[in-house]
Amino acid sequence: MRRKTKILLSQWIRQIARKLGLDTKTTKVKGEVFAKYSELQQKLGYQFKSLDLLLEALTHRSCLSDPNHDSAITNERLEFLGDSVVGLVVSNYLFATFPEKNEGELTEIKSLIVSRKILAKVARSLEIGKYIRLGMGEEKSGGRERNSIISNAVEALIGAVYVDGGYQQAGRVINKLLLSHVNEFVKSELAKNYKSKLLEYSQSQGWGTPEYEICTETGPDHAKVFEAIVRVQGQKIGLGSGRSKKQAEQNAAREALETLNQL
């Protein structure tokens, strides 16, 4: 009789808890999730009101085909949004910070700051690889270290911050992660010779020498902007712009290396 009474009492308590939104199992799970991701939130400098948004931002699409995951959503929508938010915040910052630079120069700096390589560098500083939710196949193939996955997760996190806390909070996170290191990023990237690196990689794969073509030339004589295409074995693999033909080709080579997962 006592056992039956305890069972009924336990069931009654759970029913009351659920009505109050205090389901003990759910509360425990949310508590565990909060503890697991508290360090990441500290590094971001933002505390999520919605843990569901945080989890969504860290859920790779490979989870959809994995029976061990019950997730029906991925971070791709948040990544789409985050990409736009990052672009707006960075553009606004560059416009205000560099009044002496023209549109072509600002575009060039922006492309460096929001490049996959820089976002992957930010991702590693956050140790995002520890937190991403991956399907088994992606897990086994080294997805936690793949630049494309971790850089996309950074954009998804920023998209999640925007949805959870608004533009101002997203701007604060972007400033902390990206804009506070603008000079460091730009100087280190401009000093690199991407054409040489692409040539070396292409020849190591037996693909021959990359071919460059200046496809467009816009602007007045004193402020021209060039756009270059790079092809390997006749296939276009990179597009870049710059104030000079040389810089446009370097940026095209950089995009090609990103496409080939060599950055």
> What are the start and end residues of each CATH 1.10.1520.10 domain in the chain?
2-189
> What are the start and end residues of each CATH 3.30.160.20 domain in the chain?
193-259
52 is an active site residue: no
- 8 Å CB contact between 257 and 263: yes
3-state SS class at 228: strand
At the fourth CATH level, which superfamily is domain 2-189?
Ribonuclease III domain (1.10.1520.10)
3-state SS class at 231: strand
> What pLDDT digit, counting tens, does each position of 122-163 carry?
999 999 999 998 877 777 888 788 899 999 999 999 999 999
What's the mean pLDDT in 9-22?
A: 42
Q: Residues with Cβ < 8 Å from 45, sequence gap 6 or more?
A: 172, 173, 176
Antiparallel, parallel or unpaired: β 211-218 and 225-232: antiparallel
pTM, entire model:
0.65
79 is an active site residue: no
Split at pLDDT 50, 70, 90, the class of 4 is low
The H helix count followed by the E strand count for the chain is: 12, 3
CA separation for the pair 227, 219 (Å, rounded): 12
* 124 or 67, higher pLDDT: 124
Look up the CATH architecture of domain 193-259: 2-Layer Sandwich (3.30)
3-state SS class at 98: coil
The residue annotated as part of the active site, out of 155, 227, 249, 255, is: 155
Give yes or no for residue 1 having a pLDDT over 70: no
The pLDDT, as a whole number, for residue 34 is 63
- 8 Å CB contact between 110 and 88: no
Distances, alpha carbon 70 to alpha carbons 60, 64, 67, 106, in Å: 12, 8, 7, 44
Which among 132, 126, 121, 156 is positioned nearest to 39, based on CA atoms? 126
Amino acid making up residue 176: K
- 8 Å CB contact between 64 and 74: yes
The residue annotated as part of the active site, out of 56, 83, 189, 258, is: 83
The pLDDT, as a whole number, for residue 37 is 85
What's the mean pLDDT in 171-199?
A: 82
- 8 Å CB contact between 156 and 58: yes
Give yes or no for residue 13 having a pLDDT over 60: no
